[in-house]
A and B are shown apart, each in its own frame.
Chain A
Amino acid sequence: MEYMRRLILLLCMLWAGGAIAAEPKILIINSNGAIARYEEIRKEFLAQLGQPAHTVDLQGKEDATASVAAEVARYAPDIIFNIGSQAHQVANEKFKEIRQVFAAVINWRRFPVGEYALGVSNEPMSGMQFSLMRSLFPNLKRIGVLFSPEVNREWVETAAEEAKSWQFDLVTRPITDPSRLRDQLINLLEESDALWLISDPVVLSSKEAVLAIFAGADKLRKPVVAYNELFAQYGAALVVSVDTPTIGRQAAMLAKKILNSPKPAGEKVVSPAGSYVILNRKQVSRYDLKINNDAIDMINRIIE
């Protein structure tokens, strides 16, 4: 009887071992678990994936390479999910042979994308922003944008083409010298119905520059459309940013894709698929903007 019991137990253990071995081993490297956005991405990734994973939290420490290497050697993952720039930098450099997915990496183009890597970019694509601008403000026509040619020339050229299909004219002004920002801004605003802020380190070089842009736009009663919810506080009439949970879900889908095929077809880095919209109703009234009531269900937050 005891022999039978042990045999059954052994068979159960072998079956369980087989089942565990059949599931891929997933390691998540989180640049800093204390950052709410990273944690939200991690949770949604796990929920979409529907299986457990082992997480290493770098806690923002810069000298994490050795400890990550030890963890990778110990855990022997089939795939690594890098959250944030720091995690991505370490994994991208040290574990090129392991399949990887990345998300929340600021300016991912700084790093080479590995042969076995896929990712979700951090920035909202211009098409997403235009689609919501057009949905909510049917009367806007000419959209002004300031940009640094060194950083964003190609991006702005592509966006200008994209804008046409949304029935917008993009009015652009290159900024090479931040000290000339105010003159260029006023000149641009006079030709535009609204100002569109894009992620640009030369244009948004300081808090003073941001304040000057918003003050200039307000003086000429022109609404500002921004890409990050932080600008809501400065008086952006509309903010179209990326939806963080969707990024985690997209990363999980990419993980499944690369687990099925180490070099899958299609784009290696995809844009965020979900949008998060903030409307400042005070600014909408202040600038007499016509709002499309049919699109109000697209708004996530309203500032009164």
Chain B
Amino acid sequence: MPLLPIVTLWSCLLAAMLALPVADARAEPAPAGRILYFNPEISIDNFLVLEEKFNAFLAEKGKTRFTPASTIATFEKELSGKPDGAQLLLISSWYYKSLRDTTRLRPLLIGTRNGMTSQKKVLVVRKEEKDPGDGINIASATSQEFASQLLDEMAARSKTPLPKRFGILRVPKDLDALMSVAFGMADAALAAEHGWRHLRQINPTQFERLRMLAESREIPLPILAVNEARADRDAALADPLRAMNQSEKGETALRLLGLDGFRPPTPAEEQFLNQ
């Protein structure tokens, strides 16, 4: 008997079995509060696992639920509705700044990674390539909108002229973006600086074949924010997240977000975010 139909059948059975716990989870009573998540800076396609791990951590602390949104439309639809209970927003700092035009927000916590609360993005090309002109394809795990804004900002800081017209090939991970340049699937990669450093660590040969063309300014990591008008009531929802990295479940959920902890923003960070 051919292998493919057998394994496909097995796959279907497994999918059916996997569907059961999801249905059970949804049958739980309405949550007391929720954390709405949206991050256009990274290409998240692991929502199921992220939601499951975050909620496994939150379930130990109370009745707060984690609700990720994959698109800006879904997020804004959720945001425009009247929340069932208390609500916090876990959003990228770039989106935080753009949302502040319409909503009064206060940052409660900022994400950390290896002791840092910010990161740079870098534009990388193959070493032998001359400075890329218009029309190139840039692989990136960010949204088109964020990538365009980031490249404008990089161009203003860069001594090397950067392309004004380009196509974005959205890939799931920074490492995919860097590999796409190394193996010729894209002309350039827009990735987080730590992804670029990671490549140097795991494959110095590939790293040497690439070069960084431009870098961004420091971009704060994701922000946990509260609507100023409801801060007195809702801010307490942030409490379990302050020591999230102390529990195994919390650490896994943080790692899936590319973070290793949260801490309150410094006055300087708060000022930068609210500029």
Contacts and interface: CB of A to CB of B under 8 A. Distances in A.
Interface of A: 125, 127-128, 131-132, 134-135, 165-167, 204-207, 210, 229-231, 233, 243, 245-246, 249-250, 253, 256, 266-267, 270-271, 273-276, 293-302
Given A131-B202, A273-B139, 20 more contacts: A125-B183, A127-B206, A131-B203, A134-B202, A135-B198, A165-B203, A207-B6, A246-B176, A249-B169, A271-B183, A273-B169, A274-B176, A275-B175, A276-B45, A293-B255, A296-B255, A297-B257, A300-B46, A300-B49, A301-B48
B32 interface: no
B3 A134 contact: no
B146 interface: no
A15 B53 CA distance: 55
A80 to B, nearest CB: 21
A132 B199 CA distance: 11
Interface stretch (B8-16, B75-83, B227-235): B8-16
8 contacts: A127-B183, A165-B206, A207-B7, A233-B14, A246-B172, A275-B176, A299-B49, A302-B53
A271 B185 contact: yes
Contact of A246 (B7, B10, B171, B257): B171
Interface of B: 1, 3, 6-8, 10-11, 14, 45-46, 48-49, 53, 137, 139, 167, 169-173, 175-176, 179-180, 182-186, 198, 202-203, 205-206, 251-252, 255-258, 260
**Closest A-B pairs by Cβ, 5 of them:** A296-B255, A165-B205, A297-B258, A230-B7, A273-B185
A137 to B, nearest CB: 11
Q: Is the interface of B mostly helix, strand, loop or mixed?
A: helix
Nearest to A301: B49
A167 B167 CA distance: 33
Nearest to A134: B202
A95 B258 CA distance: 47
Given A131-B179, A132-B175, A273-B186, A249 B170 contact: yes
Given A253-B137, A296-B252, A243 B49 contact: no
A236 to B, nearest CB: 12
Contacts of B137: 253
Nearest to B42: A297
B3 A210 contact: yes
A267 B185 CA distance: 9
Contact of B8 (A132, A230, A250, A300): A230
Contacts of B167: 253, 256
Contacts of B260: 293
Contacts of A125: 183
B172 A276 contact: yes
B213 to A, nearest CB: 19
